[in-house]
Amino acid sequence: MANVGLRMVRKAYPNGFEAIKGIDFEVGDGQFCVLVGPSGCGKSTLLRMVAGLETVTSGEIDIGGKIVNQIEPADRDIAMVFQNYALYPHMSVYNNMAYGLRNRGMSKPEIDKRVQDAARILELAAMLDRKPRQLSGGQRQRVAMGRAIVRQPKVFLFDEPLSNLDAKLRIAMRIEIRRLQRRFNTTSIYVTHDQLEAMTLADMLVVMNGGKVEQIGNPLEIYQKPATTFVAGFIGAPPMNLLELREPEIRLPGASAEAAILGVRPEDLQMSNDVTPDGGIELDLTVEAIERVGAETYVYGLRARQSEQVTLSAKPGEPPPGEILVRIPGQDGPKIGERIRTIAPREKLHLFSADGRKRLNS
C-alpha cells in the first residue's frame, strides 16, 4: 500500500490546450479517492497520468514515496480497471486473470492460488473456464476487477468502470467495489461523472472543473458546505437552487454586502403558510411540473416574478430561468397550476460571492 501525491501537476498538449492546470493533493494510504466532474474536466487525463499512460508536462507524481514521472506504467505497481473491461476474448476467465502474473514470471502455484482466491471473493469460481462472451456485463466487470486484484498492487485505478452497466447492476457493483476496497485496504483512485456514485464510494472526494480542483473533502462535508456555486450545482441530486440575492423580492437580513448568490437545496424548502423563520426566506411559486419518484415528490415551480429571475446558467440540462425545485416526502403534493408558499430557515441557506467562486457563510 502507498500514498499517492500529486504536486502542482500540469498537462498541456502541443496545440496549447491545457487539460490539467496545476493540481495538488495527496491520497492517504488505504484511502478511496473519487475524482468527479463533468465530461471534459480532466479527471480521466489525471488518472492516466498517475497510471503513466499520459506524460506529465510539469509537476510531480509520487507513489509510495517514489517520483514516478519517468517510470513506465508496468513498473509503477498499479492496477487499472477500465470502462470497457479490456478482456481478451479468446482467453478463459482464468487465463484473463492469470495473464499479467505469467508475464511477470510468477510461479504456477502462486498464480493459481491468487486466481482461485480472487475468483472465490468475486464469486467467479464456477466461471473460470468460460470465455468473456459467455458472461454478463456485471460478470465481465468482476473479471476485470479480479485481474487487478491478483496483482496485489500498491494502488488501484478505476476509470469509470460502471458506466456500461444498467442502473440496477451499477448499484450492486458499486457496493461490491467498496466492499472489496475495504477488505484489501488498498489506496484507490476512482473516476466518475456520476455524482451519486462519487458520494457513495468516496472517503475523499475531489470535485474537478475545467482542469482544476474546485473542492476536496469528504462527501458529506462537500454536500453540506459547497465551496463554489459550481460544486453546489453539481453535487446533489436534484441540484441546489441558485438565486440572485439582490432581486427585489429576496430579502436576507444581515447578509454580507459581498453576498450576491443565494443557494438552497430542494429538500430544505418546505411548503408552509407559517411565518418565515427569523433570518430565513420565503418563495411564492406556481407549480409547473410534478415528478413522483416513490418515497418522495419533486415539485417544479416558477417564481411570481419570473421575468426578473436571474439564474447562474442556461446550460443544457440545467433548470430554465425562474424555476425552483422543491423536494417533499411522500406522494401527496400540490397540483399543477397551484400557487404554493415555500420557506427555508437561515441555517439551511448558502451564500456565495457574485462570481460564484467563494462561499461566504460557514
CA 240 – CA 227 distance, rounded (Å) = 13
CA distances from 204 to 113, 169, 287 (A): 33, 24, 38
What 247-250 contacts at long range (C-beta under 8 Å, 24+ apart), as own/partner pairs, is 247/305, 247/308, 247/309, 247/310, 248/305, 248/308, 249/303, 249/304, 249/305, 250/281
Q: Report whether pLDDT(307) > 80.
A: no
Residue 266 pLDDT grade (very low, low, confident, very high; cuts 50, 70, 90): very high
Question: Beta strand pairing status for 66-67 and 58-63?
Answer: antiparallel
Question: Beta strand pairing status for 32-36 and 204-209?
Answer: parallel
Whether omega before 238 lies within 30 degrees of 0, making that bond cis, reads yes
Cell 506524460 found at: 55
CA 317 – CA 324 distance, rounded (Å) = 14
Inter-residue contact 139 to 176 (CB < 8 Å): no
Phi, psi (degrees; rounded to nearest 5) at 14: -55, -30
107: CB partners within 8 A, 6+ apart: none
Mean pLDDT of 320-346: 87
User: Could you tell me what percent of the chain has a pLDDT over 90?
Assistant: 67
**Residue-level pLDDT at 303:** 84
**Residue-level pLDDT at 309:** 40
CA distances from 345 to 20, 107, 152, 275 (A): 39, 65, 50, 11
Count, residues in the chain:
362
The domain locations on the chain are 4-224, 240-353
Mean pLDDT of 8-21: 96
Q: What is the chain's mean pLDDT, rounded?
A: 89
CA 245 – CA 226 distance, rounded (Å) = 17
204-234 pLDDT per residue, tens: 999 999 999 999 999 999 999 999 999 999 9
Give me the residues paired with residue 119 across strands: none
Residue 221: name the closest of 202, 241, 197 by CA.
202
Between 267 and 330, where is the model more confident? Answer: 267
Order of strands across the sheet that contains 241-244: 241-244, 259-264, 349-353
Stretch among 66-75, 96-105, 160-169 having the lowest mean pLDDT: 160-169
Q: Report whether pLDDT(314) > 50.
A: no
Between 32 and 173, where is the model more confident? Answer: 32
**Residue-level pLDDT at 59:** 97
Mean pLDDT of 19-38: 96
360: CB partners within 8 A, 6+ apart: 256, 258, 259, 351, 352, 353
Dihedral-angle region of residue 92 (phi above 0 means left; psi in -120 to 50 means alpha; beta otherwise): beta
Q: Which amino acid is at 11?
A: K
Mean pLDDT of 267-287: 85
Number of neighbours of residue 237 by Cβ within 10 angstroms: 11
Inter-residue contact 297 to 328 (CB < 8 Å): yes
Q: Report whether pLDDT(130) > 60.
A: yes
Q: Report whether pLDDT(68) > 70.
A: yes
> 4-224: which CATH architecture?
3-Layer(aba) Sandwich (3.40)
Residue 138 pLDDT grade (very low, low, confident, very high; cuts 50, 70, 90): confident
Local structure of 155: helix, strand or coil: strand
Residue 59: name the closest of 29, 87, 93, 25 by CA.
25
Inter-residue contact 343 to 330 (CB < 8 Å): no
**Domain 240-353: which CATH number of 2.40.50.140, 3.40.50.261, 2.60.40.420, 1.10.3470.10:** 2.40.50.140
